[in-house]
Chain A
Amino acid sequence: MIETVIIQIFVEIINIFISIPFGLVSITFGSIIYVPTGAKLGKYILIFGLIVLTLNVYLV
């Protein structure tokens, strides 16, 4: 009982405070870099944000 509650708390904290903010910020920042110039750094940042958000959907 208490373990599931603690796991639930951790899941919510990771979800709200880490994965969604950093995923969305990295997606927007990466697209700002990637779209006008086509730089590789922006592409990697964008892919990182997408991976974070998809991991958030599937794991958490």
Chain B
Amino acid sequence: MKTKFYGSYKRELNNPVNMYPSRQIFEVDPYPILMKGQAILLGDIVDIDQFEGISSSIIGLFVEVLPFLYALAIIISNLSLILGGITYLLDEREENGKWMIARALSIITLFIFLFNDVSLMERINSTRFDQIETFTSYISMYLLFILATLSLIYLIGNCGLYLMNQERNFVKNIRKSIICLLVVILPLGNHFPQFPVWKW
């Protein structure tokens, strides 16, 4: 019932003229509330225009500010994932960069679960959010590819060194690079199917 209200307005909101959803929603449809199989119109009970002054400012802040915060958060967490991975690869004692990787991975998985939620996405409902999401997925995919190639090069080089000269140090490096490759899989798996989609 909650998701029904906003689903039908998506087509109209794809038009970039209708950037603020609140005004458009109240003009297009008088906001039906379903109760006991009977539709009651909100416009019959309350004067909607009284809410609009308060709500449009909050909704406008939400629609304009949130996509940029989201893009910043995704890009920063991917960058810190790369930096943590590189410091983890190059560190001798496997201490530095481990918590950086853990923080970035936890935030990325949280965002995957949060922003792939359908009911939440229908409430956000802005065209700019879709554009920014494709853009950030495009950028973060390339950032993750950097870490993947670096750890793959590290893995292959250390395998060769281990074949020539069997020391325990190389085994440790191989283990670290395999962990870095495993770290990349989860965020990359979310972004990989959207590879050709980026368009602005």
Contacts and interface: CB of A to CB of B under 8 A. Distances in A.
- Find the residue from A16, A18, A20, A35 having the highest chain B CB count within 10 A: A35
A20 B107 contact: no
Nearest to B62: A21
Interface stretch (B12-20, B63-71, B163-171, B180-188): B63-71
A38 to B, nearest CB: 6
Contacts of B35: 4-5, 8
Contacts of A36: 76, 79-80
B111 to A, nearest CB: 8
Interface residues of B, number: 35
Contacts of A18: 58
Interface string B34-78: 010000101001100001001100110110011001101100110
B interface secondary structure, majority: helix
Contact of A32 (B40, B54, B55, B76): B76
B61 A21 contact: yes
B103 A9 contact: no
Nearest to A18: B58
A15 B124 CA distance: 12
B33 interface: yes
Interface string A7-40: 0110011011110110011011101101110100
Contacts of B40: 5
B155 interface: no
A59 B99 CA distance: 34
Contacts of A9: 33, 42, 45-46
B123 interface: yes
Given A13-B51, A21-B62, A31 B107 contact: yes
Nearest to A2: B45
A9 B35 CA distance: 12
Contact of B103 (A5, A24, A38): A38
A35 B77 contact: yes
Contacts of A15: 2
Contact of A25 (B33, B62, B111, B114): B62
B197 interface: no
Interface of A: 4-5, 8-9, 12-13, 15-18, 20-21, 24-25, 27-29, 31-32, 34-36, 38, 53
| 6 nearest A-B residue pairs (beta carbon) | A28-B69, A21-B62, A31-B73, A31-B107, A28-B73, A35-B77
